[in-house]
Copies of this chain bind each other. A is one copy, B any other.
Amino acid sequence: MKPVCFVMGAGAGIGGTVGRKFAREGYHAVLCRRSDEAGLNALVDIIKDEGGDATGFLMNAVDENAIEDRVAFVEKEIGPIEVVIYNLGAQIGDRVLADTSMRAFEMGWRLATFGLFRLAKTVCPLMEERGGGKILVTSATAAVRGNAGQHSHAAAMGGRRMLCQTLNAEFAPKGIHVAHILVDGAVDAPDTLGKMLGPELFKKLRETKGAEDGLLQPEKMAETYFHIASQHRSVWTHELDLRSYSDVAWWNHV
């Protein structure tokens, strides 16, 4: 029975691509996403065509027990979860405070912060019992600095980063590697950036900035995700950043 790489937020960008990489490396990729069953099935098929194992689930992570039940099912029916890719985002674009509803603010927290807490509560005891595991968390610039219009996103991601540190403090000595991967730039991802921009603009961006490697490429990001998951326990990375060579780092102005 293969170990499982459990991906939350397995769209056609970081999540799905990282899942596919782990499938190639011998994991059973369990791919969860909220919608687009066709896209999910297509990704499962691609992985199987490559000789890998994958199972897809539609899951709305904010539903009561959705995460908890899915983990239980996977552990029982598919295999032990050795790696978690927590890839749920909460970016809703820039909105001034007046346009940020209480509902949107709460939803950001439910997806980005509370979901990771629930996942950790569910999976850490299992990993601890087995002597270890890896939880790789995709993060964003908003986790380290708030910017205008990012009320919901920054509060949610800032809480998430601190949660990663508390999880690391409690669970690293028990063999669970928690890593906070700060994605500082636009990702070449049709399901997130593509939807935010619309097909026209996204196509243009790919042909200009993307053609010069100015967009983070998910398949290249996956190499680093896999490396982090493979680090020997004497040399674990807890935090790292990723950005295109041509992008300005978040702490610099142009």
Contact = CB atoms under 8 A, between A and B. Distances in A.
Interface string A162-187: 11111111111101010000000000
Nearest to A177: B245
A18 to B, nearest CB: 12
Interface in A27-76: none
B166 A147 contact: yes
Nearest to A173: B246
A102 interface: yes
A199 interface: no
A120 B147 contact: no
A213 B240 contact: no
A221 interface: yes
A19 B193 CA distance: 40
B251 A243 contact: no
Contacts of A147: 165-166, 169, 251-253
Interface in A90-148: 96-98, 100, 102, 105-106, 109, 113-114, 117-118, 120-121, 124-125, 142-148
A235 to B, nearest CB: 5
A146 B165 contact: yes
Contacts of A224: 227, 231, 235, 237
A93 to B, nearest CB: 13
B245 A233 contact: yes
A191 interface: no
Contact of A117 (B102, B173, B217, B251): B102
Contact of A167 (B97, B118, B238, B254): B97
A84 interface: no
Contacts of A246: 172-173, 233
Of residues A102, A164, A166, A244, which shows the largest number of chain B Cβ atoms within 10 Å of its Cβ? A166
Contact of A216 (B142, B155, B172, B235): B235
Interface of A: 96-98, 100, 102, 105-106, 109, 113-114, 117-118, 120-121, 124-125, 142-151, 154-173, 175, 177, 188, 213-217, 220-221, 223-224, 227, 230-246, 248-254
Given A148-B169, A233-B246, A240-B240, 5 more contacts: A98-B125, A145-B251, A156-B159, A169-B248, A224-B235
9 contacts: A105-B117, A144-B251, A151-B167, A157-B162, A158-B159, A165-B251, A213-B234, A220-B235, A239-B241
